[in-house]
Amino acid sequence: MAVPRIPPEQRAWWIIGTIGVLIMTAGAVWWGISATSGVSWDNGPFTVVNDRSVKVTFYVTNQDDKPVRCRLEAQDIKHDRVGVRTVDLPASHFRTTEYTRVIPTVDTAVTGFVDHCEYR
């Protein structure tokens, strides 16, 4: 059984469709790779020091010898924000680096964590 030939008037649409699929595939691959690169962080243990501060330990990965700025947050039992601190971290050549910082609070916190990190 022979494979049917595409009529000449439909060839242009097949070419345009093939090019479109290739461009969309390349875009999806680029988006997937770019979404996995860059700095990332993990929350570690925290300690409520007193009614006015909480100590947070966190881990920053993929600093790539670049300084990083992280936003730390403390919340009370109702999940209200009771403390925020932005910290500038030095460049690190290690894959993952551990940091510990204290967040001053306006009320008793029950948790402390990293909200966001980005390259400076």
Which residues on neighbouring strands pair with residue 62, listed in sequence order? none
Cα(64)–Cα(89) distance, integer angstroms: 13
Cα(80)–Cα(65) distance, integer angstroms: 35
Tell me the whole-structure pTM to 2 decimals. Answer: 0.70
Number of H helices, E strands in the chain: 1, 6
Q: What is the pLDDT of residues 5-61, one digit of tens each?
A: 888 888 889 889 999 999 999 999 988 887 767 899 999 999 999 999 999 999 999
CATH 2.60.40 fits 40-119, yes or no: yes
